[in-house]
Amino acid sequence: MNSKAIPVYLFLGFLEAGKTRFIQKALADEKFGKDENILLLVFEEGIEEFDFSAFSHNNVTLHIIDDGVLPDTEELCQMSDKCRADRIVIEYNGMMHIADLIIGKPENWKIFQTVMIADASTFSMYEQNMRSLVVDKANICDVVIFNRYVKKADINELHRIIRSVNRRTEIYYEADNGMMIADDIEDPLPFNINAPVVVIKDDDYAVWYSDIMNEAVKYHEKTVKFKAMIGSRPELPPNVFAVGRFIMTCCEADMEFCWFVAFYNRYHEVKGDIWALITAEITVQHHENENIDIPLLRITELYECAPPEIEIASF
């Protein structure tokens, strides 16, 4: 297996959203991948097909995987090794979960950029009917591009959907004439991140969790106060707890316990999961392999308390 780091350009979106057209334009740019070998993995075939004659370089190897099943790590390695890939471009199936790819990809495949392409005329319908899959993709994107945009489209609604799960991504609207319009809607946080103690209200936990997981660095060395469930875990050492709340994206089937690793330097016996009002200092550690920042909590105050009026957090 080739051990050199290979940048991966990941394109997400649902069927007929326009991913193929966007990738076609990227590969036709003579500056993209010049004198490099490019592996193009397509996990979903739509109506449009790639026009290899329009590519600026004759260095693209196409693999179509259209059965909704992610090849194992060894198979993916063989694909990149065979064409001696210097870059990898992936058109991902909108019905497949992104975590499967992140966990199953070869270790030397480093995700460099993630772009979500969405049809502005149908995106709200997808959000209403398949919100968990929308969140799955929007949560990790560096850029979201809404195409087939017309002036009558409700930008505020599209903005709300994306910002409810990802506050760091850039958002653009592509008009029919090809012009890209940047989203400039101001989106203040519902809490003061510059306060000596950042107080998170019960109703704002989901927004805060999304924000800190997307932009952890800005919380480094901040002190935060919030209400959450705290519990021990077999995989965690003594005095290290799982602290968090269940967040519901669209329905009960999509609930997930969204938690932090939290250290407490005082003995506190926790039998099962209890609710507590927690004050903690945040430090951020960067994980090089996955190129992600992980917030860690050091609890300074902990008081057992009653649960919030609504225990399940939501956006």
Residue 234 CB partners (closer than 8 Å, separation 6+): none
44 and 134: one domain?
A: yes
Helices (DSSP H) in 38-188: which residue ranges?
Answer: 73-82, 98-104, 123-129, 131-138, 155-163
Number of domains in the chain: 2
Please list, in sequence order, all residues whose beta carbon lies within 8 angstroms of the beta carbon of residue 253, skipping any fewer than 6 positions away.
132
The DSSP bridge pattern shows strands 38-42 and 256-264 to be unpaired
| Angle subtended at Cα 278 by Cα 277 and Cα 284, rounded to the nearest 5 degrees | 155
Residue 187 is assigned to a structural domain of this protein: no
Q: Are residues 303 and 251 in the same domain?
A: yes
Predicted local distance difference test score (pLDDT) of residue 187: 82
> Based on the domain organization, do 296 and 215 belong to the same domain?
yes
Question: Does 67 fall in a domain?
Answer: yes
* CB distance 263 to 229 below 8 Å: no
Same domain, 32 and 150: yes
Supply the DSSP string of 271-315, one letter for each residue. Answer: -S-EEEEEEEEEEEEEETTTTEEEEEEEEEEEEE-PPPSS-SEE-
Instruction: Quote the domain boundaries for residue 46.
Output: 6-182
Return the pLDDT at 91. Answer: 96
306, two tokens = 């009653």
Q: What's residue 287's pLDDT?
A: 81
Q: Which domain CATH number covers 67?
A: 3.40.50.300
- Same domain? For 137 and 273 the reply is no
Residue-level pLDDT at 1: 59
Query: Does 284 fall in a domain?
Result: yes
Query: Is 188 part of any domain?
Result: no
User: Which tokens sit at 92?
Assistant: 């991902």
Q: Are residues 261 and 174 in the same domain?
A: no
Can you give the pLDDT at residue 192?
96
Boundary of a domain, candidates 128, 155, 182: 182
Per the domain annotation, does 193 fall within a domain?
no
Judgement on whether residues 140 and 10 belong to the same structural domain of the protein? yes
CATH of the domain at 267: 2.40.50.140
Q: Kindly report whether the global pTM for this prediction surpasses the value 0.75.
A: no
Question: 188, 213 in Cβ contact below 8 A?
Answer: no
303 domain-assigned: yes
Residue 1 lies inside a defined structural domain of this protein: no
Within-domain flag for 106: yes
pLDDT at site 85:
95
**pLDDT tens, the chain, 315 aa long:** 567 899 999 999 998 899 999 999 999 888 887 889 999 999 988 788 899 888 877 789 999 998 888 999 999 999 999 999 999 999 999 999 998 999 899 999 999 999 999 999 889 899 889 988 998 899 889 999 999 877 656 788 899 889 888 888 999 998 877 788 899 888 888 999 999 999 999 999 999 998 999 899 999 999 999 999 998 888 888 889 999 999 986 555 568 899 999 999 877 676 778 999 999 999 999 887 667 889 999 999 999 999 999 999 887
- In this structure, are 233 and 88 located in the same domain? no
